[in-house]
Amino acid sequence: MSNPVKPNPLCEKCRSNLIHGAKFKRQDPWMALEIASLLTLINIALVTRKFHVVYGGDPYSISKIKCLGCYLPENMKEIIKIAKDTRDIVKVKEYGENYKE
């Protein structure tokens, strides 16, 4: 059995920017937003030229990136905007699934 791809969690700054920027409150599904955002950033990172140049496209190298929000700041801003505008975690996930560089 192969080792799973293990991304690092978002740093505290990105996590705070995500939750507060999207205007999620304590009673909102902020943990689901954080997980969906991390999965979205993984999907985006794996298709970027930057990732392929630096890491050779190896998905296991995703764990070498300390924070995907810091690594992909423009995409992180877009995720926050989508979450704030729609309040729909599925839309956040779809952004990553449909991303084209």
Given a contact cutoff of 8 angstroms between Cβ atoms, the answer to whether 79 and 18 are in contact is yes
Condensed to tens digits (0 to 9), the pLDDT of residues 10-69 reads 999 999 999 999 999 989 999 999 999 999 999 999 999 999 999 999 999 999 999 999
Condensed to tens digits (0 to 9), the pLDDT of residues 72-96 reads 999 999 999 999 999 999 999 999 9
Q: Which H, E and C letters describe 14-79, residue by residue?
A: HHHHHHHHCCCCCCCCHHHHHHHHHHHHHHHHHHCHHHHHHHCCCHHHHHHCCCHHHHCHHHHHHH
pTM reported for the whole predicted model: 0.93
